Amino acid sequence: MKQPIKKKPLTKKKTIKPKQKWHHPKFGTSKLEEDFARDFLVKLGVKFVWQFEAKDIGRFYDFYLKEHNLLIEVDGSYYHSDPRVVDENKLNPMQRKNKWVDAKKNEWALAHGIRLIRIWEKDIREHPNEVLNELRKILGLQQTKMSLLENKNKRHNNKIK
């Protein structure tokens, strides 16, 4: 004897959405850039523009500090071929292209009178305090911090007298 066919209860039909094409953004941020922004620029209380575009060359700089007229590029040791990490004689095509792009960015910043500093990943990861101190020096923040502390001490001393 045949088993009776069980009918399934009616359920809503699942609508299948057509696959949406993923568009790569014009630029992206790396974990290194996110860490640098959080651990250095935010910590120093510096205002910055993330991914500043040089429209005439169609390239983006990692950070632009308008108040200081300063561009900051955070360069990964492998991708931008840090000579302490990568043999300059054995660069792959991607590394050679990145070096060429970096040279164009350097030229653009120089032509527009904007200071550009490059900070290597190796330094950020292995010597963060030195990078922080160097940034303070470049941005003139050490003098500002010292003068604020001195003013606070002077006010405190005046109240005591």
Task: Write out pLDDT tens, residues 84-105.
Answer: 989 989 999 999 999 999 999 9
pLDDT of the residue at 93: 93
**Tally of CB atoms within 10 A around 47:** 10
The fraction of the chain above a pLDDT of 70, given in percent, is: 70
pLDDT of the residue at 79: 87
CA gap 64, 159 in Å, rounded = 42
Sign of CA dihedral 36, 62, 122, 110: negative
71 has a pLDDT exceeding 90: yes
Specify the pTM.
0.70
47 has a pLDDT exceeding 60: yes
CB 105 within 8 A of CB 73: yes
CA gap 41, 14 in Å, rounded = 48
CA gap 131, 139 in Å, rounded = 12
**Tally of CB atoms within 10 A around 120:** 20
Helix (H), strand (E) at residue 44 = helix 43-44
**Mean pLDDT confidence for 6-35:** 57
Mean pLDDT of the residues in the chain: 79
Q: 117 or 147, which is more confident?
A: 117
Domains, the chain: 31-160 (3.40.960.10)
**Calculated CA dihedral for residues 116, 98, 59, 72, nearest 10 degrees:** -20
CB 50 within 8 A of CB 29: yes
CA gap 130, 137 in Å, rounded = 10
14-18, 20-24, 104-108, 117-121: segment of lowest average pLDDT: 20-24
pLDDT of the residue at 20: 45
